[in-house]
């Protein structure tokens, strides 16, 4: 079996191709979100996605930069074959029903159990509150998509026991949301330092072969939050 091919498609979305079948994580391809306050840095080139070979999608949580109904609707229209959306198991049926209404199959993932999603690729979910992280195992590679999930110490310990080797680790690298007012430079500086410390703490816990900065490829696009663009952590700032 060939090693999986991974392609980045913007913000928190990447695809994995395994034996000519495609898998997507958290697709968001268009439109602003959070009441028009977040905008994608770049519009994904959809010609680089083989929608006819797309078989599975994982949604980490319900925030619209991860669970974007307009994007899911477009994917369904571009794809002829069956596609299964994988989501964490929950009692509230709203997410499941919304996905089914768009024409997808839905599988609600149990925690901490390997589930085969297509030939050569299995996934294991680590839920945390309303969010979740995912371990993908295929082609001999172990990829941890932590996304912007704040895993607890207990979840970290369990994940490390189950997957002592992490080949690639995807994790949010910059600020998201509100941290302090625009004139509070101390609060904003502290927020940057706390987030950098968080990256370092998770990196030290998992010791991945590769860290992939992730889930922060947006700019703040409303007058009320545009000042945050001066405080984001850049890729250069991670070095």
Non-local CB neighbours of 31 within 8 Å, separated by 6+ positions: 68, 70
- Look up residue 181 and give its two tokens: 């007012």
Confidence band (pLDDT; 50, 70, 90) for 3?
Answer: confident
Look up the pTM and report it.
0.96
- Look up residue 191 and give its two tokens: 């927020």
The secondary structure of residue 130, as a DSSP letter, is T
| 5-226 CATH, one of 3.40.50.150, 3.60.15.10, 1.10.10.10, 3.30.930.10 | 3.60.15.10
Does residue 151 register a pLDDT over 70? yes
DSSP 49-92: S-GGGEEEEE---SSTTTS-HHHHHHHHHH--S--EEEEE--S-
Domain ranges of the chain: 5-226
Residue 196, SS3 per DSSP: helix
Tell me the per-residue pLDDT of 191-224, one tens digit each, with 9 for 90 and over: 999 999 999 999 999 999 999 999 999 999 999 9
- Look up residue 103 and give its two tokens: 């024409």
In the chain, pLDDT over 90 holds for what percent of residues? 93
- Whether residue 9 contacts residue 27, with contact meaning beta carbons closer than 8 Å, is answered with yes
Does residue 62 register a pLDDT over 70? yes
Does residue 36 register a pLDDT over 90? yes
> pLDDT value at position 4?
87
Mean residue pLDDT of the chain comes to 96
Region 68-86: mean pLDDT is 97
- Whether residue 39 contacts residue 219, with contact meaning beta carbons closer than 8 Å, is answered with yes
- Whether residue 68 contacts residue 32, with contact meaning beta carbons closer than 8 Å, is answered with no
> pLDDT value at position 237?
87
Non-local CB neighbours of 211 within 8 Å, separated by 6+ positions: 168, 169, 171, 199, 203
Confidence band (pLDDT; 50, 70, 90) for 2?
Answer: low
Interhelix angle 153-162/185-206, rounded to 10 degrees, is 30
The beta strand positions in the chain, using DSSP E, are: 5-8, 14-18, 21-25, 38-40, 54-58, 84-88, 105-109, 114-118, 121-128, 131-138, 141-147, 168-172, 210-214, 218-220
């Amino acid at each position: 079996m060939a090693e999986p091919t991974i392609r980045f498609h913007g913000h928190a979305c990447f695809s994995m191709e395994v034996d000519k079948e495609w898998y997507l994580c958290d697709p968001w391809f268009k439109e602003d979100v959070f009441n028009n306050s977040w905008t994608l840095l770049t519009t994904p080139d959809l010609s680089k996605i083989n929608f006819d070979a797309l078989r599975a999608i994982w949604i980490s949580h319900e925030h619209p930069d991860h669970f974007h109904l307009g994007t899911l609707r477009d994917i369904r229209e571009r794809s002829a074959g069956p596609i299964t959306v994988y989501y964490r198991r929950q009692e509230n049926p709203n997410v499941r029903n919304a996905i089914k209404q768009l024409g997808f199959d839905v599988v609600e993932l149990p925690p901490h159990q390997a589930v085969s999603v297509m030939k050569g690729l299995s996934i294991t979910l680590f839920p945390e509150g309303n969010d979740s992280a995912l371990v993908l195992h295929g082609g001999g590679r172990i990829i941890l998509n932590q996304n912007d999930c704040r895993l607890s110490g207990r979840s970290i310990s369990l994940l490390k026991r189950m997957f002592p080797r992490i080949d690639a680790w995807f994790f949010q690298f910059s600020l998201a949301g509100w941290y302090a007012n625009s004139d509070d430079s101390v609060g904003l500086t502290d927020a940057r330092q706390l987030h950098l410390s968080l990256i370092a703490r998770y990196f030290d816990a998992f010791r991945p072969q590769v860290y992939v900065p992730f889930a922060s490829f947006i700019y703040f696009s409303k007058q009320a939050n545009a000042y945050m663009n001066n405080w984001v952590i850049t890729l250069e700032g991670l070095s």
